[in-house]
Amino acid sequence: MRAMVLGAEGAPLRLEQLPTPTPDSQQVLIKITACAVCRTDLHVLDGDLTEPKLPLIPGHEIVGEVVAIGDEVPDALMGKLVGVPWLGETCGQCEFCLRGEENLCDSARFTGYTIDGGYAEYTVAHQHFVFEIFGDPLHAAPLLCAGLIGYRCLRMAGDAQALGIYGFGAAAHIISQVAISQGRRIHAFTRPGDTEAQQFALDLGATWAGNSGDTPPESLDAAIIFAPVGELVVDALKAVRKGGIVVCGGIHMSPIPEFAYELLWGERTICSVANLTRQDGDEFFALLDKHPVTTHIVRYPLEEANEALDDLRHGRLQGAAVLIP
Rounded Cα distance between 170 and 289, Å, is: 20
Give the dihedral sign, CA 212/217/218/219.
positive
Dihedral of the alpha carbons of 236, 241, 247, 253, in degrees to the nearest 10: 20
Decide if 97 contacts 37 (C-beta within 8 A).
no
Mean pLDDT of the chain: 96
Query: pLDDT-based confidence at 145, cuts 50/70/90?
Result: very high
Q: Do the beta carbons of residue 257 and residue 230 sit within 8 Å? A: yes
Do 203 and 180 contact (CB within 8 A), yes or no? no
The dihedral of CA 214, 311, 321, 30: what is its sign?
negative
- pLDDT band at residue 191 under the 50/70/90 scheme: very high
Backbone angles phi, psi at 54, to 5 degrees: -130, 135
User: How far is 52 from 132, CA to CA, in rounded Å?
Assistant: 27
User: DSSP H helical segments within the chain, as ranges?
Assistant: 39-46, 95-98, 137-140, 146-156, 170-181, 195-203, 231-239, 261-264, 278-290, 305-313
State the helix-helix crossing angle for 146-156 and 278-290, rounded to 10 degrees. 90
Q: According to the model, what pLDDT value does residue 21 have?
A: 98
Q: Are 31 and 121 in contact, with CB atoms under 8 Å apart? A: yes
* Angle between helices 195-203 and 170-181 in degrees, nearest 10: 30
The pLDDT assigned to 310 comes to 97
Q: What is the mean pLDDT of residues 55-62?
A: 98
- Quick one: which of 184, 218, 211 has its CA closest to 197? 211
Residues of the chain above pLDDT 70, percent:
100
DSSP secondary structure letters along 182-224: TT-EEEEEESTT-HHHHHHHHHTT-SEEEETTPPPSS-EEEEE
CB 174 within 8 A of CB 142: yes
pTM of the predicted structure, to 2 decimals:
0.94
pLDDT for residue 44: 97
Q: Give me the pLDDT at residue 16, please.
A: 98
pLDDT of residue 46: 95
Nearest in space to 89 (alpha carbons), one of 108, 114, 61: 108
The amino acid at 298 = V
Cα 98 to chain center, whole Å?
24
Using alpha carbons, select from 231, 224, 236 the residue that is nearest to residue 254.
231
229-286 pLDDT, tens digit per residue, is: 999 999 999 999 999 999 999 999 999 999 999 999 999 999 999 999 999 999 999 9
Task: Specify the DSSP class assigned to residue 25.
Answer: T
pLDDT category, 8, cuts 50, 70, 90?
Answer: very high
Q: What is the pLDDT of residue 222?
A: 98
Task: Output the pLDDT for position 304.
Answer: 98
Domains and CATH numbers, the chain: 2-145+276-324 (3.90.180.10), 147-272 (3.40.50.720)
Query: Apex CA 107: angle with CA 105 and CA 110, to 5°?
Result: 90
Residue 292, classified by CB atoms within 10 Å of its CB into exposed (0-12), middle (13-18) or buried (19+), is exposed
Would you place residue 111 in the very low, low, confident or very high pLDDT band (cuts 50, 70, 90)? very high
